[in-house]
Amino acid sequence: MEDDCRPLLSSEQPVEVYSHRGSTDSLDFKAKRPFHVEPRNIVDDDPQERVSAEAAILNSRVHYYGRLTNSSDRLLVVLVNSPTPNYGTNRSVKGNIRLQNLKHVVKFSHKPQSHSATTAKESCGIDVSPPNHVIPGPEEIYIYSPLGTAFKVTGTDPSSKNPSIITIFAIWNTMMGTSILSIPWGIKQAGFTLGILILIFTGLLMLYCCYIVLKSPKAIPYVDTSDWEFPDVCRYYFGKFGQWSSLVFSMVSLIGAMVVYWVLMSNFLYNTGQFIYNYAHNASVSNSQFGTNGSDKVICLYPNTDPGGNVTIVALYLGNSGNDTSDVSTFEHWWSKTNTVPFYLVILLLPLLCFRSASFFARFTFLGTISVIYLIALVTLKAVRLGFHLEFHWFDPSQFYVPEFRLLFPQLTGVLTLAFFIHNCIITLMKSNRHQENNVRDLSVAYLLVGLTYLYVGVLIFAAFPSPPLSKDCIEPNFLDNFPSSDVMVFVARTFLLFQMITVYPLLGYLVRVQMMGQIFGNHYPSFFHVLALNVLIVGAGVLIAKFYPNIGSIIRFSGATCGLALVFVFPALVHMISLRRQGLPRWPSVLFHSFLILLGVANLLAQFFM
């Protein structure tokens, strides 16, 4: 009886025996030890990712004490309590499962026992509940399934999650990019009434496709997809073709955004330098037939309504401090929007792109929110001062107004495809949401805010544009170009946007490098020369476009329609239809609707070449 009451893990055991059972540094896998099991494979293709010996020991202990207490659970949790677990690599193991979804995983049920068994255990003074040192803590947890696989649990701290309001504004801030500057131009191209309808319709379509992307990992059965992104889903359904094609189209969106940034940075840097030069030399731009008079001057760069032509505004600088014409011509020679300024940016930005880490620039992302808020305030103030200038001509153009319905509307759909594009990172953004059950609601609210912001800026700029004396066709792809460089408030807006883009541009380059180098070389930073060659190609593309075709409206619509074809319309629709088919739930209305989405994406891209 004394042997029956003796603890199973007694501290009075010989030293050599205890060292075999408690030590993990001298484990002999061939020795016959009560708590030894072979390490299970982690759910991944990497053979180096194995559960450490400590995890195997503690796993066997949980199983052992579970049998003592008649545990009925099939999933047991193991704590790896070593400061340096033996994973083979430092990267997180695939198959992450959120702890909040595992509230009842560790559960030791006490079934009714006979009176004699209970009396015997009480007489020995033994607590048959699992000891505290066996129950896993929140540091590092694995979920063991009956199949012998292990899923790593991460994100155990609920305080690290964001509330819904933070998640909503994070999505809003991410989508608010350079496209907001082209929304008034897009509405002008489609017509005021048709432009508003297209903006609402496109926003709803983009929201639905984003919803499909968000739900796509959860529709895959028998696979842990907790850390998957949409390219992983495409790889699951379409193999290597889906993986590489999603990568290519993602690169199109990123590189297209970087080209637009280079054009805009050249524009903002040029106008900022122009403002400083005029202020330092007490010069001003003379009034001309291309703009209005008054304190809130609005200019028309291309009065012949041909943005692709060679007609440019003629600005005469009148100096009161004795500067002659040669000084002005010398400044214009060395400070040109297309001939010199795009090359000056290379000196600043090319070294920044070669940084190994982009964490320093991530600290300035808050400037995006400040810039958008200031831009909205600027638009509001300009609209109040200029007033509304609207006349409705439904189909026939007039001298100062455009029709309400125009055949150039695909240019707006191309711009909006990129303006509402967040599909390649929406899964990551939503993972930080504290209440996962509210993901669909929060996503819808975020899209509503984005749509209202675009509507507000687009409608106010279009309605307040002074017609007459200027035609609505004078609205530029970057509506800030319709204000002279001498405008102080616009100067502040350009300065804010310039500094924001200088900090965001290296982040975009970092994303391009990580995705491209990681796929090709398996290393995010293979060497300095590899990274330098990639950055030279990206910067060269931006310089060439800024010099020969600085039309951000066309760049945005082409890149938006191209990446939107795959990542917004084709892949989400196909993934949804294939998922329904595998579940045995296909319906003809659903198949027709999602096939229509694919046709819309193809038509949106093809139409850009005929506008």
Structure tokens at 307: 């943005």
Best CA proximity match to 289, nearest among 468, 54, 479 = 468
In angstroms, the CA 51 to CA 78 distance is 10
Average pLDDT of every residue of the chain: 75
Best CA proximity match to 196, nearest among 462, 428, 407, 6 = 462
Best CA proximity match to 559, nearest among 455, 421, 426 = 421
Is 451 a domain residue?
A: yes
At residue 111, the pLDDT reads 39
Is 573 a domain residue?
A: yes
Which backbone phi and psi does 283 adopt, to 5 degrees? Answer: -110, 160
Is 280 a domain residue?
A: yes
CA–CA distances in Å: residue 599 to residues 4, 209, 220: 75, 14, 26
Structure tokens at 136: 């896993």
Is 295 a domain residue?
A: no
| Range picked from 321-330, 440-449, 503-512, 520-529 for highest mean pLDDT | 440-449
pTM of the model: 0.70
More confident residue, 100 or 223: 223
Residue 64 pLDDT level (bands cut at 50, 70, 90): low
| Range picked from 46-55, 91-100, 159-168 for highest mean pLDDT | 159-168
pLDDT > 70 fraction of the chain, expressed in percent and rounded: 68
| Range picked from 196-200, 400-404, 432-436 for highest mean pLDDT | 196-200
Is 165 a domain residue?
A: yes
In angstroms, the CA 611 to CA 599 distance is 18
More confident residue, 155 or 224: 224
Question: Domain total for the chain?
Answer: 1
In angstroms, the CA 422 to CA 560 distance is 11
At residue 394, the pLDDT reads 82
pLDDT > 90 fraction of the chain, expressed in percent and rounded: 33
At residue 42, the pLDDT reads 44
Is 98 a domain residue?
A: no
Domain that holds residue 509: 143-285+333-610
Is 167 a domain residue?
A: yes
Look up the CATH number of the domain holding residue 566.
1.20.1740.10
In angstroms, the CA 78 to CA 55 distance is 6
At residue 28, the pLDDT reads 45
Residue 360 pLDDT level (bands cut at 50, 70, 90): confident
Which backbone phi and psi does 284 adopt, to 5 degrees? Answer: -145, 160
Is 393 a domain residue?
A: yes
Residue 190 confidence (pLDDT) above 50? yes
Residue 347 pLDDT level (bands cut at 50, 70, 90): very high
In angstroms, the CA 200 to CA 441 distance is 18
Structure-derived torsion over alpha carbons of residues 555, 595, 454, 174, reported in degrees to the nearest 10: -70
